[in-house]
Amino acid sequence: MLGAMAFISVQEAFAKFLGEHLPVGQVVWARYLGHLCLMLVILWPKYGNSIFKANRLPMQILRSLILLVDTLLFFYGLTLIGLAQATAIFFSVPALVVILSYFLLAEQIRVPTMLAIALGFVGTLIMVRPGFGQQSDEALIGALAIFGAACCTAIYNVITRKLAGTDPLAVTLLYTAMIGAIASSIWVPFIWQTPQGSEQWLTLISIGLFGAVAHSLIIMAHQYTLATIVAPFIYTQIFWALFFSWLIFRELPDIYAFIGGIVVIISGLYLVRSNRQHTKKTLPR
């Protein structure tokens, strides 16, 4: 999981860099095309044509399209705000998953969990600061785009839980990349802008590979241990985001982003811990 967070941060740093020079839709297309190519190389020799056979095809398509919208919103948001701030706002996902699980999966929410969710949103508001301070309209739009991406990820996670056990993992992995690549290919001819120089070309080609490797490492992490054990390591991504923000863009978040990020992380860690305790209590003895 530690390696996955590093690769994800590299992918997002590449997306921010490319978004300053190329259309966001083109960057998203490259990310999914590279992901699809790697999935085909890894999965097709082992599983053959069976990876294309989904038992719940409409749900697979819906899930993948939601992830595509997620990526579009996140990559667009990265062009407007810093990488570290975007990562911290995105950490509101655990709270959003709990809320959606209550409405869509009829899961109960205890009072401490509700307080942790409220704390997480307070942290998000501290970072975004709508209507306060020197926050520009552009930065506010970027923050809202990242929060929208977090909402899409939460919906994506809930649908993934509903799909669990209905389709093989290899099928789900392929459709995640394939639907995104096909859908984004529709608009690429209309927005294509030729990258300038080897640096842009290399970054555009490699962004999908970093995303695919990160996705594969996350799957491997969940195969070797419980999700509740690996989940806290997701928050190490903030350190990679800070590092790449400074290294590539010479950016560091302001004090409000630091404080809000810490609040969101504390909220998320409590939700992970609470979920782990609940899982232990409900496991058969």
Q: How far is CA 77 from CA 32, 53, 64, 83, 146, in A?
A: 18, 35, 20, 9, 5
Work out the widest C-alpha separation in the chain, in whole angstroms.
61
Percent of the chain at pLDDT > 90 equals 28
Q: What is the mean pLDDT of residues 137-151?
A: 88
pLDDT tens per residue, range 192-221:
999 998 999 999 999 988 888 887 777 666
* 81 has a pLDDT exceeding 80: yes
pLDDT tens per residue, range 22-52:
999 999 999 999 999 988 998 888 888 899 9
Tokens of residue 186, six digits = 């529709």
> Alpha helices of the chain — where are they, by DSSP H?
2-19, 24-47, 57-78, 83-90, 93-104, 111-128, 137-163, 169-191, 197-224, 227-230, 237-249, 255-282
For 214, counting Cβ atoms within 10 Å of its Cβ (0-12 exposed, 13-18 middle, 19+ buried), the class is buried
For 186, counting Cβ atoms within 10 Å of its Cβ (0-12 exposed, 13-18 middle, 19+ buried), the class is exposed
pLDDT tens per residue, range 255-274:
777 787 788 778 777 766 66
Predicted pLDDT of residue 96: 78
**Which range in 63-67, 115-119, 216-220 is most confidently predicted, on average pLDDT?**
63-67
Average pLDDT, the chain: 81
Phi, psi values for residue 210, rounded to 5°: -65, -40
Secondary structure of residue 250 in the 3-state scheme:
coil
DSSP 192: -
> Alpha helices of 164-254 — where are they, by DSSP H?
169-191, 197-224, 227-230, 237-249
More confident residue, 54 or 166: 54
Split at pLDDT 50, 70, 90, the class of 71 is very high
Predicted pLDDT of residue 131: 47
Upper half-sphere CA count for residue 284 (Cβ side, 13 Å) = 0
Angle between helices 137-163 and 83-90 (to 10 degrees): 40
More confident residue, 24 or 115: 24
Predicted pLDDT of residue 192: 94
* 278 has a pLDDT exceeding 90: no
Q: What distance lies between CA 173 and its chain's CA centroid? A: 15
102 Cβ contact list (under 8 Å, min separation 6):
108, 109
More confident residue, 260 or 153: 153
Task: Provide the residue type at 238 as one letter.
Answer: I
Predicted pLDDT of residue 62: 93
